[in-house]
Amino acid sequence: MNHLVSPSLLAADFGNLEKAVSMVNGSMADWLHLDIMDGLFVPNISFGFPVIRYVKKASEKPLDVHLMIVDPDRYLERFRDAGADIITVQYEACTHLNRTVSEIRNLGLKAGVALNPHTPVALLKNILPYIDMVLIMTVNPGFGGQVFISESYNKITELRGMIDRGAYKVLIEVDGGIGTDNASSLIQSGVNVLVAGNSVFNSPDPLKTIERLKLLT
């Protein structure tokens, strides 16, 4: 399949979200990525439900929602109702991961699992049949603008092998330090979805940057 591009709204101008969402609507992007942070699982706070509902009304793209929060099970239905199309939870935040991803799917959504940089992909062996996507964090989660962790390539290659051997229909998404300088190498390593924040929204021409990310091979 052709790779997907999911611009991260975390890097946009929070004072003009309507303009940012409108730009993504008019771009070649496939999804719109929202990082949800609670100040506990990660040392930052981002979007709440009112903002997600607002973005949902304005967006013409599916909402790719990444929950960097403790005890995400409490809020799954509320995120669905706010407009999430895909919900990704952190492996490290879920005590009963199978139950969590099953509930996401029962809500009619795609289910993803994210791994922090220090978490081995081998831990996903028994959950791959029950999910739609794995998000490999290529920086330590919590803040945008960090430097890509090069060890991530090994994790991506290992995960691609696990997915292919099991013939699972699971996408690999990456988030953190992604731009036109490394996106092609990531795609060749087996990545299906590129999350790009600063490289898009801090670009002189965000539309052109999204186009370049989308057309890379």
Distant-in-sequence, close-in-space partners of 16: CB < 8 Å, separation ≥ 6:
none
H runs (alpha helix) in the chain:
17-25, 49-58, 76-82, 97-106, 152-166, 183-189, 198-201, 206-215
Q: Catalytic residue at 35?
A: yes
Q: Catalytic residue at 85?
A: no
Annotated active-site residue in 38, 81, 175, 205: 175
Burial of 126 (0-12, 13-18, 19+ CB in 10 A): exposed
What is the rounded distance in angstroms from the CA atom of residue 139 to the CA atom of residue 93? Answer: 17
What is the rounded distance in angstroms from the CA atom of residue 27 to the CA atom of residue 208? Answer: 8
Annotated active-site residue in 30, 35, 64, 132: 35
Catalogue the active-site residues: 35, 175
